[in-house]
A and B are shown apart, each in its own frame.
Chain A
Amino acid sequence: MKVALVGQPNSGKSTVFNAVAGYHSLTSNFAGTTVEYTRGQARVGGVVLDLIDLPGLYSLTPTSAVEEVSRDYLLENEWDVIINVVDASQMARSLELTLELLDLEAPMVVCLNMMDEAARKGMTIDTKSLSDALGVPVIEAIGGRGRGIVETFRAAQQEAAKGSNPHPFLYAPDLESILKELGGKVAGTLPQRPSAFHRFSALPVISSNPMPAASVKCLGGCCNTACGGQESVIAAPRVESSRHAPAQGSASVAVAEPPVRAGADLPYNEFQGTASQSQIGNLISHVGNLKSQIQVFPPARYRALQLLQSKPNPSPKRELAVCAATPDSGRRTPDLLVLTPDLLADAALRTPDSEQTFVDWARMEITSRTGQPADAAISSARHAACLNLFERVAKVARPKSDWRERVDHIAMHPIWGYAMLAVVFLGFFRLIFNVGQLGETRILSVFDALVALLTRHMDPHSAMFAAVKGGVLGTAGAVAIVLPYLLPFLAGLAILEDIGYLSRVGYLMDAGMHRLGLHGTATLPVLVGYGCSVPAVMATRILSTRRDRFIAAFLAVLVPCSARMTVIFALVGFYLGANYALAIYGLNIVVVALSGAVLARIWPEISPGMLMEVPAYRVPAAKVVALKTWWRLREFVLVAFPLLVVGSIVLSLVDFYGWQHGINAALSPLTALLGLPRSVGLTLIFGVLRKELSLLMLMQALGTTHILGAMTAAQIIIFTLFVTFYLPCMATLASMIKELGWRLTLAASAALLALAIVISLAARGVMLIL
């Protein structure tokens, strides 16, 4: 049985998922943590469930690539039941998605998560009446503590077994009649999804009455010039019969006749006149009697809603007809899509069976009745329904004022907010450094002893010795040098994420990010980049334009990830002191800022601006932090560790047989340019595989774990800077190609390489002067 977890961002879907399926899905306290769906399995009540944790979406009409992932999954893949995870403390807003999911008319359970937070906000929710109103089971839960989770999955199983199809929440009758009409029209013209459910085995019979002509007068404002203020009449396209395939879920084709232009004897509606609205209403009510409901997925009404809410995309022919007028005040806004009937009828004649014609017609109908664009009318109807429902089922007492507000008073303060930001990040890196240094010295001494032991007991001139020594040094690097820094870093990052501080950073940085041609939302991927570039590049999906995604991904890759962090701390920090390491981080921030500013100049575009939920602070649960740290560390243990050891052995053997000279010679122009020892050339190649490798290889290439003896302080700094900025590692490159395409990836890589050389040279110049 397939269970899809659907909910708004930061409603705790992944927490619910992890509660039963083990920690497989990353959780954080900010919107957009999950950008791809995660699958997992769980045994609940003796039944094995396939769980799909979908990225959060605010509504089924996506505005970002993340939401598209979820919507497309719901529409194109098979599942048996939806668990709609709702943040109870944000119920008024979250119910909007719930209502949209009900439109899918598929088995569903509402998991009212974070009941504790709702209680803290002074909310009491009558779950029973909510369940009655929605027509689906509603289960209270606290995902973080595992309460109500099993009940939710049990209820989901029951719903799926029953195959119950909840009824959609209906809006005002005249809106519904248009939806029904449009639904009937488009059901046949849209391609059916290839793998329709057997449950929704279709009986696609469309047979509607011939539609009488509806007449609409031009809607005032600037349209008057377009249609000369004349009354014009449009005959709605006529759908007469349909051919239907007997096979289940297959497409039915509506044969539409070209619409006829009816005479002007029909009454037309005055601009925004109420009398005319009822006339049209009468006409429409004539029409909408579909003889049979279409049992396909997604349901016709849902499709109608989607079409009406999707972005109006006027074709060149219709552009003339797009004009603006807000009826209430006469104030003109450019967003109201009004088509003149004349042009619409023309379009209908040209493309009689185009669903776009029907959609335009329905849009115009809704606009003429409500005085709002169709999508605004629908979403405001839904919004009103939600607020109504919310007031019926929830009581909100005065929220208890607590520490969260006082913290925000400082954390988001115009002065103290930035001071706190500096303290938090400096403290964070100081902590990593101190813990890491402690570990590095102790563990490294153990391995040093081991190497000394090996030298005594083996022939130091055999290939075997070279390989074993390589293996030992590789392990030493991974365990003694990388791990001591990585572990506190990942744990600290997990805590920062779970508290919910990162969104506040986004808020504080928004003004600064505008200088980089981005906005505050883009800080999240960049901050994620401090952990690992791969999820950071993927997190750029929360941004809405390709240009924003590219710039954010480029900056996120520039930010030193945890692997580069270990290089910085274990090389510069360990040998030269923590302040040098922090200075590299400071320089990095400057470089990120400058690159952003330059990119914004090269590719200028007005960013739509930041609109981001600021989540409530949460006290991170120790267990979740531990699991999350392990989850990220596992990637290091399973992928990087073997790579480091094998790479180290390979390099030893290369060194033993003297093959490295060719590679080093090939790279010698670069190393000479940067003033580095010739032997580090090879390590730069290995660094592309894994950034930590360049650090371990450095020790291999120099033949010692005590680097300061083999390289000068200036060389260490230049090497670290170069490794920090040059090409991203293979995994990052792969995800960049996936998210941005190979062209932009290539451009970004070339730019990064050039940038690394420039920065290293600049550093060399500065140090020569000093």
Chain B
Amino acid sequence: MAFWNPYCLNQGAMRDDANFSSPMNLYEACDQDELRILLITGGWDVRRSFNQIGIQPGDRVRVLRHAPFGGPLVIDNQGTQVAVGKQLAQQIRVEVLP
């Protein structure tokens, strides 16, 4: 599936050598990655809209799928599926959980 997301970092064989703590944003995560949200940047509005939908720094989320053509990705947060657009996803710093 990574084929559809050219932004996806650390994929495939690289994954083993990847530095998991390296800073990356949510949009760079690959499908099925388990992530921890580290920081939501982008100011009050972005923070507020993520907080509202129940996503906060420290949360553990899983990437389910990416839409093609730079479309949104769907993450699973405590059983809630949320579609996050590219611009917003790029405002979120995450780390990949092993």
Indicate if B9 sits at the interface (CB-CB under 8 A): no
Q: How far is the CA of A680 from the CA of B23 in the complex (A)?
A: 66
Contact B82 A612 (CB under 8 A): yes
User: Which residues of A from 371 to 393 have beta carbons under 8 Å from B?
Assistant: 373, 375-376, 379-380, 383, 390
Interface stretch (choices A88-96, A173-181, A289-297, A658-666): A88-96
* 0/1 interface trace, chain A 589-619, chain B, CB 8 Å (1 if under): 0000000000000000011111111111000
B30, chain A: closest CB distance, angstroms = 14
Indicate if A194 sits at the interface (CB-CB under 8 A): no
Interface of B, helix, strand, loop or mixed by DSSP: mixed
Contact B52 A59 (CB under 8 A): yes
Known: A93-B54, A335-B41, A414-B68. A376 touches B74 (CB 8 A): no
- Number of residues of chain B lying within 8 A (CB) of chain A: 43
- Please give 15 more A-B residue pairs, beta carbons under 8 A apart, in addition to A375-B51, A608-B49, A609-B87: A61-B52, A63-B52, A311-B44, A335-B42, A335-B46, A376-B40, A379-B47, A380-B58, A506-B83, A507-B67, A510-B67, A520-B72, A608-B88, A611-B53, A614-B74
Q: Which B residues lie at the A interface, using CB under 8 A?
A: 4, 39-54, 56-59, 65-72, 74, 77-89
Write out the residue numbers on chain A whose beta carbons fall within 8 Å of the beta carbon of B78: 90, 92-93, 390
A-B contact pairs, 11 of them (CB 8 A): A96-B54, A375-B48, A379-B47, A379-B48, A507-B71, A520-B71, A608-B46, A610-B88, A613-B80, A613-B81, A614-B81
Contact A609 B47 (CB under 8 A): no
Contact B54 A311 (CB under 8 A): no
Write out the residue numbers on chain A whose beta carbons fall within 8 Å of the beta carbon of B66: 414
**Residue in chain B with minimal CB distance to A31:** B53
Write out the residue numbers on chain A whose beta carbons fall within 8 Å of the beta carbon of B87: 606-609
A548, chain B: closest CB distance, angstroms = 13
Contact A511 B68 (CB under 8 A): yes
B82 interface neighbour in A121, A309, A614, Cβ under 8 Å: A614
Contact A611 B71 (CB under 8 A): no
Write out the residue numbers on chain A whose beta carbons fall within 8 Å of the beta carbon of B54: 90, 92-93, 96, 383
Contact A380 B69 (CB under 8 A): no
Contact B82 A335 (CB under 8 A): no
Q: How far is the CA of A544 from the CA of B51 in the complex (A)?
A: 16
Contact B84 A376 (CB under 8 A): no
Q: How far is the CA of A514 from the CA of B72 in the complex (A)?
A: 11
Q: How far is the CA of A390 from the CA of B58 in the complex (A)?
A: 16
* 0/1 interface trace, chain A 293-316, chain B, CB 8 Å (1 if under): 000000000000000010110000
Q: How far is the CA of A261 from the CA of B71 in the complex (A)?
A: 54
B51 interface neighbour in A123, A376, A511, Cβ under 8 Å: A376
Write out the residue numbers on chain A whose beta carbons fall within 8 Å of the beta carbon of B79: 89-90, 92, 121, 123, 396, 399
User: Which residues of A from 503 to 522 have beta carbons under 8 Å from B?
Assistant: 503, 506-508, 510-512, 514, 519-520
Contact A609 B44 (CB under 8 A): no
Q: How far is the CA of A121 from the CA of B76 in the complex (A)?
A: 13
**Residue in chain B with minimal CB distance to A413:** B65
* 0/1 interface trace, chain A 97-127, chain B, CB 8 Å (1 if under): 0000000000000000000000001010000
Indicate if A333 sits at the interface (CB-CB under 8 A): yes
Q: How far is the CA of A102 from the CA of B70 in the complex (A)?
A: 41
Indicate if A412 sits at the interface (CB-CB under 8 A): yes
Contact B67 A335 (CB under 8 A): no
Contact B80 A414 (CB under 8 A): no
B84, chain A: closest CB distance, angstroms = 6
Write out the residue numbers on chain B whose beta carbons fall within 8 Å of the beta carbon of A616: 81
Indicate if A271 sits at the interface (CB-CB under 8 A): no
Contact A507 B74 (CB under 8 A): yes
